[in-house]
Amino acid sequence: MLRLLSCCAAIVLVACEPEAGDTSDRDCDMVSRAVPQYRLAQQGYDALLPRAIAEDWQGDRFDREVAQWIADRYPAGGGTPTDVAASPSTNPCTCEISGVDELCAQYRRDHRPEVLCEAARAHERTHAAQCTANNALADSDPSKYECAPLSNTQRQKNEHAAYNALLAALRPWFDAHCTSRCAELALAEEFSGTIELSYSRDSHGPLGSGELDGQASYTSRLASFPVGVDGYSETWLGTPTGTGGFDYVVRDSETSAVVFTWSGHGSIVENPPVGRYTGEILRIDPLLCEYEFETSAVVSALDSDGNAEPSGLGLAIGDIAIDTAKMTMTGSRSLPLPQPQFAGIHGTNVDLPAQSFEHDASTITSGNLDVTWNFVPVP
């Protein structure tokens, strides 16, 4: 499915030849199919880095594993990328770029949009700039890295930046020449959202054991908001309406006696405390046909020390593929706990009551969060 390239090179991921039709439509189709794969490549380097370090991958092992990671995740029906003979690469020691002109010539012979050539060139130029900057550092500079072989950490860092440059070259062209398959969704003034969730978490540590259970069911009405972020160019904001609750109990590690309780049940707080929680947020990336949502199932709560404070769950899930066959944004996840509290806008973020205690290094935590959602344009 993929052609793997040498060190400091983009994985060549050009979508399969679309059906005959208008040239501009065919070009847009090729770019729209290629972009999600480039994003998958970027995500693959991030996701596989811990394993690469733990297993001390050598040579091009990291690149080969990323290629397989993409192959396992590229959606059915998305088309098979076309293999190409040219293999652009950048020597990480001499900074010399090779293979881009040959790749571009082949793209032109195959009548592929010139922007794919420009994107590949931007990728390799980023690697060349990384190499030049590194070579300019004094040998005594702790930030200078060995160019051969690159460490897995440095390879991930370099590839992440190079794919950012590649995607940055494609997005303006797509916005200027194409209509996204998801344009109709992105133009909606309002969305109606429905979320149902439940969670359970157990923890055991030197300070005691904690048991947390919670659930919520609510709807939201989200209105268009003219601010985008990191590729999600379309945003909608709203407030939740529904009910939820949680119970948290801490027991002494030796006697099992209850030493602390915290609970809350009732209506979801429409405007939860700013800073820790967000309102209801939906974002769409029309180019990638992906969406992200943030939600807060917060209720008024009281602990056994007499402290009254709204608390509950904060959740964000990013990079969810829109079902382009049905043009729907419906899904579900079953997430093991704990999850990162701040993983960035393209990741999964979970914030639960007593999160700091549960994430203590001396505490063993396990659990699960189940969530289903549905976002529908309001006519």
At residue 4, the pLDDT reads 34
CA separation for the pair 374, 314 (Å, rounded): 17
Category of 196 on φ-ψ map: left (φ > 0), alpha (ψ -120 to 50) or beta = beta
The counts of H helices and E strands in the chain are: 7, 13
At residue 12, the pLDDT reads 56
Closest-CA residue to 173 (of 228, 227, 119, 106):
119
Tokens coding 22: 């208008």
At residue 71, the pLDDT reads 80
**Tell me, what DSSP letter sits at residue 271?**
S
At residue 199, the pLDDT reads 98
> Would you give per-residue pLDDT tens digits along the chain (379 residues)?
233 333 555 555 544 444 444 457 788 888 877 877 787 888 889 889 999 999 999 988 998 899 888 887 765 444 434 444 457 889 999 999 999 999 999 999 989 999 999 999 999 999 999 999 999 999 999 999 998 888 999 999 999 899 989 988 988 888 788 877 787 788 889 999 999 999 999 998 887 899 999 999 999 999 988 776 766 778 999 999 999 999 999 999 889 999 999 999 999 999 888 778 888 999 998 877 889 999 999 999 999 999 999 999 999 998 898 887 788 899 999 999 988 776 566 678 999 998 766 556 678 889 999 999 999 999 8
User: Whole-structure pTM over 0.85, yes or no?
Assistant: no
Check if the beta carbon of residue 227 is closer than 8 Å to that of residue 236: no
Backbone angles phi, psi at 9, to 5 degrees: -135, 155
At residue 371, the pLDDT reads 98
**The dihedral formed by the CA atoms of 67, 69, 72 and 76, expressed in degrees to the nearest 10:** -70
CA separation for the pair 365, 312 (Å, rounded): 18
At residue 11, the pLDDT reads 58
At residue 345, the pLDDT reads 67
At residue 344, the pLDDT reads 63
Closest-CA residue to 345 (of 300, 297, 294, 308):
294
CA separation for the pair 44, 34 (Å, rounded): 15
At residue 79, the pLDDT reads 42
Tokens coding 210: 């904690």
